[in-house]
Amino acid sequence: MVARHDQTSDPELLAALLQARRGTAFFARKLNELSDAELDGDSLLPGWTRRHITAHIGYNARAIARLIEWAATGVETPMYASTAVRDHEIDFGATLSPIALRHLFDHSAVHLNVEWRDLPEEAWHHTVRTIQGREVPATETVWMRSREVWIHAVDLDNGAVFRDIPVPVLERLLADITGAWHTRGTDAGLLVNVTDRGITFGDTTSATPTVVSGPLAAVVEWAAGRGNGGVTAADQDGAALRQVPPAPKWI
């Protein structure tokens, strides 16, 4: 009989799985609060309705489940054939009836959770490949999913805010985002000051930086391109700027 609990005993991985499952439950709650008619409404992402967000989250679970199957069997099963296929899938999913769209989310979330639960301890370290071409251990899929469900729960524009996201998720999000900026060199001349954590990210070598400051949740909201409420911008001497600059591109 298949075990009905996670086969891994790694405490860090178990904590990460719990965070991803809580994020899935949070997304489910914000989705279920919406009426069928409200699914047609705009999300916080330009060009996407709430239908697109829901379809994306559903198909994302299926794609990550394919990576777990890859880790379990050793048979390569990519997330998607291509980014174009992924985009087409989302557009198609957005046209589903409300009940079918809700079932897509529910069933795909259960499927992924079962794949995670039943993955043997040693298989978590097997290498798989993301849609961006990164080779990562299967453990990375947990963060990939956690990031999606927590951020897109806010994108449903149904009352969820970045302050609802757990601090460990926010901290890793900010590290991911600022790390991507640094890799591309797009953080030149920019310092990000997280006032309630006493930490700074960005270009510490610039003599004339623009300093964006705010509490963690507000800074991550800005860095993720979701708005600038709660953050301020100043020059190197501390003089306030009239406008907060847009964050560099993340994804």
Q: What is the pLDDT of residue 235?
A: 87
Query: How much is the pLDDT for 46?
Result: 93
Residue 207: the pLDDT is: 85
**Domain 11-160 in CATH: superfamily?**
dinb family like domain (1.20.120.450)
Q: How confident is the model at residue 153, as a pLDDT? A: 98
The rounded distance, in Å, linking the Cα atoms of 46 and 92 is 18
Tens digit of pLDDT per residue, the chain (251 long)?
455 789 999 999 999 999 999 999 999 999 999 999 999 999 999 999 999 999 999 999 999 999 999 999 999 999 998 899 999 999 999 999 999 999 999 999 999 999 999 999 999 999 999 998 899 999 999 999 999 999 999 999 999 999 999 999 999 999 999 999 999 999 899 999 999 998 898 888 888 899 999 999 999 999 999 998 899 999 888 888 889 999 999 88
167-234: CATH number: 3.30.1050.20
Q: Where are the domains of the chain?
A: 11-160, 167-234
Long-range contacts of 107-112 (CB under 8 A, 24+ apart): 108/58, 108/59, 108/61, 108/62, 108/65, 109/24, 109/28, 109/58, 109/61, 111/61, 111/62, 111/65, 112/61, 112/62, 112/64, 112/65, 112/68, 112/145
| pLDDT at residue 3 in the model | 52
